[in-house]
Amino acid sequence: MSEKTPYLDIPGEKSRALLARRQEFVARGVGSAMDVFAAKADGAIIEDVDGNRYIDFAGGIGTMNVGHARPEVTRAIAEQAAKFTHTCFSVMMYEPYVELAERIVNLAPGDFPKKAIFFNSGAEAVENAVKIARYATGRPAIISFDNAFHGRTLMTMTMTSKVKPYKHRFGPFAPEVYQAPFPYAYRLDMTPQEASDYCIAELESMFVGEVAPDQVAAVIIEPVQGEGGFIVAPPGFLSALKEVCHKYGILFVADEIQSGFCRTGRMFAVEHDGVEPDMIIIAKSMGAGMPISGVVGRAEIMDAPLPGMLGGTYSGNPVACAAANAVLDLYEREDMAARSREIGLVVTDRFLKFQELFAFVGDVRGLGGMVAMELVKDRTTKEPDSHAASDILETAHHHGLVLIKAGIYDNVIRVLVPLCVTDEQLRQGLDILEMTCAMVAQVADATTTV
């Protein structure tokens, strides 16, 4: 093991030089999980400027489901860039946008007429879903959930849960946003079914105590909360939620920015529950790192805003659309949803083993290839252990594994490995993680035989 995963003395010389320039010229508000700089990447491997190689378990925070530098995608980008890089769809239209809309409409669940529209970032797509929902319903209020993450713009930051670093001193926030409890069974100390029933009941109480349901335009939910710590909505919760929405004429909107595009073992996570959202918000792994996002939904809702009410200078940029079309080909051709399910089984199996070995692994959870473990100081009190998580990350980085955290308490280790990862790379990455956990457990004297 130690031979295969030598200790990397990072940041290396070239990274250190770049770091000095970064510190001088780049605003510190943009954080970086690692102190190294990428030189190139291929599949599930990234190489830094000093030649250190890493297995990538972060996938650009879930943008790289198809893998880095896939020739099919880079070729599509180069070919489109050579033709033209931009006309602005609001000025002169182009085919890649229409092709992408047609394909996304056909992929989104629901046997009813649908339409799609594209933007640049995830937050921008969420903002636009809110605009569309408000315009279509004539209602002002939006309901999001505890632990949610929807972005860093004013509206999406308001809909987001974690105070630091996302909201602290960035107020005042947008009005008419209400937060309902999410069925986080582990922290609610409930079975998934109990958590689900409890949250539906709480939502109904919100309609009495906080906001009249006839004022609510949309409920916007992540089927698997991403930044919140890979908290999976229990089976049946999304359908129950959709029923409540239907009863009050509220739109049911799924934010699949992190959970979409095969990450959970289906094209969209809502498919596990057989739910057909009124709108789905997409981004991240639709473009293999190119800035593209979108909203797809029922045609009559999507068509509510009049021409000119939606859009943006770069929205649905032709190069990004070409990349996304190539990415969709790969999902289909390589059945990446099936691969995600396989990866999920392997990772879950190992994480459950970690839970037996290391006392700080409090919970293991996930859906398909979207798997995480939540670290605690004590399994009874469930006191979050963000220090163990930070130590594991740092040690893993030094052994050639790109790893990131999540969770409202910063104590969740999550896996967003590109789905093209080989079995050997996956095993190696998990071996590094096990070794890392063992080292951190030893230091904390936390090893146990539970």
Ligand X SMILES: Cc1ncc(COP(=O)(O)O)c(C=O)c1O
Residues that bind ligand X (CB under 6 A): 61, 121-123, 126, 149-151, 222, 226-227, 255, 257-258, 283
Q: Which of 163, 269, 155, 288 is nearest to 222 (CA)?
A: 269
| Rounded Cα gap, residues 201 and 414, in angstroms | 30
For residues 15 and 156, which CB has a smaller minimum distance to ligand X in the complex?
156
Q: Which is nearer to ligand X, 56 or 391 (CB)?
A: 56
Q: State the minimum distance, in angstroms, from the CB of residue 228 to ligand X.
A: 9
Whichever of 49 and 371 has its CB closer to ligand X, that residue is 371
Q: From the CB of 365, what's the least distance to ligand X, in Å?
A: 17
Nearer to ligand X, 100 or 129 (CB): 129
Least gap, CB of 259 to ligand X (angstroms): 7
Q: Which residue is nearest to ligand X (CB)?
A: 122
CA angle (228, 154, 366) in 5-degree steps: 15
Q: What is the 3-state secondary structure (H, E, C) of 390-446?
A: HHHHHHHHHCCEECEEECCCCCEEEECCCCCCCHHHHHHHHHHHHHHHHHHHHHCCC
Closest separation in Å from C-beta 99 to ligand X: 22
150 bridge partner residues = none
Q: Counting every residue, how long is the chain?
A: 450
For ligand X, the closer CB: 11 or 260:
260
Closest approach, Cβ 127 to ligand X, in A, equals 9
Nearer to ligand X, 267 or 441 (CB): 267
The runs of H, that is alpha helices, within 275-422 are 299-302, 318-333, 336-357, 386-398
Residue from 273, 272, 268, 247 nearest 258 by CA = 268
Q: Rounded to whole angstroms, how far apart are CA atoms 399 and 320?
A: 34
Helices (H) and strands (E) in the chain, counts: 14, 17
Of 166 and 186, nearer to ligand X (C-beta) is 166
Which residues are 293's β-sheet partners?
119
How deeply is 434 buried, as exposed, middle or buried, from its count of CB atoms within 10 A (0-12, 13-18, 19+)? middle
Q: How far is the CB of 200 from ligand X (least distance, A)?
A: 21
Residue identified by tokens 């934010």 is 255
| CB 192 within 8 Å of CB 235 | yes
**Nearer Cβ to ligand X (149/331):** 149
Choose between 286 and 359: whose C-beta lies nearer to ligand X: 286
The C-alpha atoms of residue 184 and residue 390 are separated, in whole angstroms, by 22
Instruction: Give least dist CB 55 to ligand X, A.
Output: 21
**Which of helix, strand or coil describes residue 337?**
helix
Nearer to ligand X, 217 or 437 (CB): 217
**Cα angle 237, 370, 101; round to 5:** 80
Q: Please give the Cα distance from 186 to 365 (Å, whole number).
A: 10
Q: How far is the CB of 291 from ligand X (least distance, A)?
A: 8
CB of 341 to ligand X, least distance (A): 21
Q: At its nearest, how many Å lie between ligand X and the CB of residue 183?
A: 17
Other CB atoms within a 10 A radius of the CB of residue 381 amount to 9
